[in-house]
Structure 1
Amino acid sequence: MQHASERFHAFDALRASMMLLGVALHSATAYSTFPDVWWLKDPVTSHWLDAFLLFLHSFRLPAFFVMSGFFAALLIGRRGWQGFLENRAARLGLPFLLGMLFLYPVLKVASVFCYFLVRQPDAWNRTLGWLGEGRLERAIEPMHLWFLEILMWLCLAAAPLAPRLTRWLGRTWFRSVLTNRFAPLFWGLLTFLTLLPMEFGILDTPHNFAPHFRIIGAYAVFFAFGWGLYCHRESLPLLRSAGWPHVALALLFTFFTIGAIDRQVANRAVRDWPAFLATCAGTALTAWFMIFGLIGLFLRYCSQPSARHRYLSDSAYWLYIVHPPVLVALQIPMMPLPWPAEVKALIGLFAAVPILLASYHYFVRSTWIGVILNGRKYPVPAQTTAIETCLEPQASV
């Protein structure tokens, strides 16, 4: 068992990786055939990117919520429920409010401009007219930060229930299921049931600030699993056996899910129940086989302290919060270009990440913003050492 003050380096890295995958996901959304999933829609699209999005969407945030539940249990054990809620208000609530205040106007105006750019002449004047009608404030939505709202609801619910959660999830039944080879199937069944209220059998995304209890309930399963994982942290070495075979199975389930969704879309006039249920099953199994596979791989390869992993972990929150305007700024000039969708998505991703890392390095890590996001301010000399070490292929401490 790890000491109470020891860092769980593998899970720090896993949580950060899932957040950084959001940049890759949103770099691809502009070029998918799915409507209304990003701030702009490029004329060039790709069904391959549809598959990529469905794959990431099935496990990325579920794995993040598993890690969130794990660290929530750790934090409430160290600080009590009052310290836990104070920490969550600062680390989740404040970034959510600041993101809404500064990012939403920029992204919404860019979205409206892109809409007129491909449909109407004089896009700037049409955008100014849209603003003059007062429609900016009427269209407000939680953007890509909606997951923070879901997480805050779960933390508010978990704080008063913490002793019962720890007692119930700390029992031997959880450990027996956790270490069983069929564990992904057990948890997949629970997630399958939570997907039944969803529109297409995949995890829905809220587009307003109302509490969507079906979505909160679906992510609560992952959050609770992470909480139980902390209660049985002495069993973590047993999960190292999971890995690439689990990831391979998840990929197979993804293609199964894509076929089921295509069938649903082709028969939207009526509910195609076999295809809907197949989508629920495929999504649930993809999520849990990926979660167990990723946990095994990160425990195996990322359990040792690493300056590079720590730096990327610290930067991931900032990169995820501010990446949409950077991506949109890169995607708009590429709209008239007839390049393949996959090429545009890769260009956007590989151009955005260095810009985002530089902004974190010079304007966040050693400032009050870094205190909000990372819980501390790194002095500039330590910051410089960290990023230089981060860029060295085998750097570790």
Structure 2
Amino acid sequence: MGSNKMLRKTDRSDRTLKVRGRIVALDRARTFITLLVLIHHSAVNYTHFGNGDKMRWLGFDLIVLFNDSFFMACMFLISGLFVHGSLTPRGAADFVRNRAWRLGIPFLVSIFVLMPIAYYPTFLRYHLPGTTDFSFFHFWWRTLTVGPWPSGPAWFLWVLLALNIAAAVLQAVSPRLLKTSGLLIFSLRDRPWTAFAAFLAASVVIYVPMRLIVGDMSWLEPDGYPLPIQTSRILLYAGYFLTGFGIGAVSLRAGILSEEGALARRWPLWLAFASLFYGAILLQVYAHHNWIADFDSPPLAWQAGYGLAFSLFSAAMTFTVLTVSLAFASSRMKLLDAMRPNAYGIFLAHYIFIIWLQYAVYDYSWPAFVKFAVVFAGTLALSWAVTALLRKIPIVSRMI
């Protein structure tokens, strides 16, 4: 009886929240990941493992490794948090139509327009001999007909759309299972250590076996179409998304992600664990470079160890991002709050400015950090400005 009262209370709280506005902490978490995407793509050209700019800095290798080991899985979980709140009042058909509008159309625009514009400088620098007279139209047509046809960061959109459709099907086919899962997660709101351990274990189970089976370098891209996904992470992304879906199925405001909850209060501990697990990843990388004779074929023990460290870090860092956002929800964060309305558009547009600015500074002998700073600041400013202008068009503002 007490549990039913609690659920009715939290349902009322969530309804009040929808009237009063958005959940600031979760908006900030999503915007923060978008900012990390810009940092990641601005830095990757100046890493030692890449084949980009001749100016490089080891610090960027550490930043890129840090981001790549958690941030997209975290973004899928955050995206899943809002699905139930949109799906339930809309119904499955209207929900899928809305997601196709907000995810499918931007994906198509990205692969047919934005990504060819973004990758054109790469063609200009690395073209085959005798092709310097290719115009952009020639490059665009060759991309679509001959390939390769890259999707760039837009791969996230088609995968997220597919997961949203799967969520709508799951809700229609087995609503009781979803509600039971949501209540199970809700019951952990006062047991943060159990929740943390369960999420760590789930992360290991859904990632490590796939990594051992297919390796970490395999990408699934059917028939060369721009629908790629890193094979080893298919279940990881799906699992994190469904976890978010389950969290949102009962209550976002008063459940496990309550701003005053036990989980949020322990954010320093989750950060400490994330730091420990990242240290384990670095140890594995050091061992790979210094202690393993066959660099391209590390032993199974190393692969299992790296997969374990990766999955634990991904889970702990996701907890950290969410709980830090919750713990400091009442604090002022000017950059994230200002970015929030334009964050989606910034994500869609940023890759054009990333690659063109990297191309523009390529021939200069500036230190790697200076080039990074120019690329990052220019990308953030330009993609933000373009998004703000585009959102003045009503049909675009309803999409992004």
Tell whether the structures are fold-level matches, with TM greater than 0.5: yes
- Return closer, same or farther for 1:72/1:42 CA change in 2, 3 Å cut-off: same
Deviates more, 1:203-212 or 1:309-318: 203-212
Of the three residues 145, 153, 158, the one matched with 1:144 is: 153
Match runs of 1:111-130 below 5 Å: 111-116=122-127, 124-125=132-133
Of the three residues 203, 208, 220, the one matched with 1:191 is: 203
2: distance between equivalents of 1:243 and 1:51?
23
SS at match of 2:180: helix
1:367 CA drift (Å)? 3.9
- Return closer, same or farther for 1:129/1:307 CA change in 2, 3 Å cut-off: closer
Q: Is the 8 A contact 2:219 2:230 kept in 1?
A: no
Instruction: Indicate yes or no: 2:295 matched with 1:277.
Output: no
2:283 is matched with which residue?
259
Matching residue's letter, 1:57: D
- Return closer, same or farther for 1:283/1:211 CA change in 2, 3 Å cut-off: closer
1: distance between equivalents of 2:137 and 2:336?
47
1:220 CA drift (Å)? 1.3
Q: Is the 8 A contact 2:265 2:323 kept in 1?
A: yes
2:6 is matched with which residue?
none
1:27 CA drift (Å)? 0.2
1:343 CA drift (Å)? 2.7
Matching residue's letter, 2:317: M
1:87 is matched with which residue?
98
1:312 is matched with which residue?
339
2:268 is matched with which residue?
244
2:116 is matched with which residue?
105
Q: Is the 8 A contact 1:66 1:226 kept in 2?
A: yes
1:111 CA drift (Å)? 1.4
SS at match of 2:149: coil
1:78 CA drift (Å)? 2.2
2: distance between equivalents of 1:135 and 1:152?
24
Deviates more, 1:334-343 or 1:96-105: 334-343
- Return closer, same or farther for 1:181/1:337 CA change in 2, 3 Å cut-off: same
Instruction: Indicate yes or no: 2:29 matched with 1:14.
Output: yes
**Alpha carbon RMSD of aligned pairs, Å?**
3.1
1: distance between equivalents of 2:374 and 2:60?
14
SS at match of 2:363: coil
Match runs of 1:160-239 below 5 Å: 160-162=169-171, 163-172=175-184, 175-176=187-188, 179-196=191-208, 197-198=210-211, 208-209=226-227, 214-230=232-248, 231-233=250-252, 234-235=254-255, 236=258, 237-238=260-261, 239=263
Matching residue's letter, 1:257: I
- Return closer, same or farther for 1:35/1:288 CA change in 2, 3 Å cut-off: same
Q: Deviations over 1:233-260 (max 9, x none)?
A: 3222312213233223313322321331
Matching residue's letter, 1:98: V
2: distance between equivalents of 1:121 and 1:195?
42
Matching residue's letter, 1:198: R
1:303 CA drift (Å)? 5.4
Q: Is the 8 A contact 1:11 1:298 kept in 2?
A: yes
Matching residue's letter, 2:166: A
Q: Is the 8 A contact 2:185 2:247 kept in 1?
A: no
- Return closer, same or farther for 1:121/1:98 CA change in 2, 3 Å cut-off: closer
Q: Is the 8 A contact 2:115 2:351 kept in 1?
A: no
How high is the sequence identity, in percent, across the aligned residues? 22
TM-score, with normalisation over the residues of structure 1? 0.82
- Return closer, same or farther for 1:178/1:268 CA change in 2, 3 Å cut-off: farther
1:310 CA drift (Å)? 5.2
1: distance between equivalents of 2:42 and 2:326?
28
User: Unaligned stretches of 5+ in structure 1?
Assistant: 374-397
- Return closer, same or farther for 1:361/1:332 CA change in 2, 3 Å cut-off: same
2: distance between equivalents of 1:211 and 1:260?
24
2: distance between equivalents of 1:254 and 1:350?
27
- Return closer, same or farther for 1:278/1:42 CA change in 2, 3 Å cut-off: same
Q: Deviations over 1:137-157 (max 9, x none)?
A: 321122211111111111111
SS at match of 1:372: coil
Instruction: Indicate yes or no: 2:45 matched with 1:34.
Output: no
2: distance between equivalents of 1:312 and 1:176?
32
1:98 CA drift (Å)? 0.9
Q: Is the 8 A contact 2:118 2:352 kept in 1?
A: yes
Q: Is the 8 A contact 1:108 1:136 kept in 2?
A: no
1:109 CA drift (Å)? 2.2
